[in-house]
């Protein structure tokens, strides 16, 4: 058995375990769901959607950042977050938390956003499986 292949396979498994542990939290899932499709949000927006205080949201975003799923960019006094790992969006789709993947996941990076993605950006999007937001956080 090739030790090098086994080690890299084990490393991949441990990376996957870390990602799945990170995803195993309702508020983190809700945050990723909001950020899917290229949406960019600040902490105040996520506070409203998750019905949680700023320190709690910031702590969850820190966990997502550490896992390499989101990144934050300072814009004045606020930090705007975005999803940087398209595999997380694919997992959300597979779990039924997103209706359709973004253009990046479909491999069509130049495609115009669908009506659903546009509605999400304007705040008009409601996923059919949505429950009361506070129950998700």
The CATH number for 62's domain is 1.10.10.10
* CA distances, 35 to each of 9, 14, 38 (Å): 30, 25, 6
Residue partners of 87: CB distance under 8 A and separation at least 6:
19
pLDDT in tens, the chain (137 residues): 444 555 688 998 998 898 899 999 999 999 999 998 888 889 999 998 889 999 999 999 999 999 999 999 998 999 999 999 888 888 899 888 887 666 554 444 333 333 334 434 444 434 333 434 333 43
Domain that holds residue 30: 3-136
CB 82 within 8 A of CB 39: yes
User: pLDDT value at position 15?
Assistant: 86
How many Cβ atoms are within 10 Å of 109's Cβ, its own excluded?
8
User: pLDDT value at position 122?
Assistant: 46
User: pLDDT value at position 61?
Assistant: 95
Give the count of domains, the chain: 1
Vertex 91 angle, CA 86 and 92, to 5°: 95
User: pLDDT value at position 56?
Assistant: 95
């Amino acid at each position: 058995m090739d030790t090098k292949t086994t080690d890299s396979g084990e490393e991949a498994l441990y990376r996957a375990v870390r990602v799945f542990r990170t995803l195993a939290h309702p508020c983190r899932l809700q945050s990723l769901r909001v950020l899917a499709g290229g949406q960019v949000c600040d902490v105040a927006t996520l506070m409203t959607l998750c019905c949680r205080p700023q320190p709690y949201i910031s702590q969850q975003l820190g966990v997502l950042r550490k896992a390499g799923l989101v990144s934050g960019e300072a814009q004045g006094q606020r930090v705007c977050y975005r999803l940087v790992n398209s595999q997380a969006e694919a997992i959300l789709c597979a779990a039924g938390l997103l209706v359709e993947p973004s253009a990046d996941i479909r491999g069509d990076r130049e495609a115009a956003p669908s009506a659903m993605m546009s509605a999400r950006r304007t705040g008009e999007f409601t996923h059919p499986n949505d429950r009361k937001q506070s129950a998700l956080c």
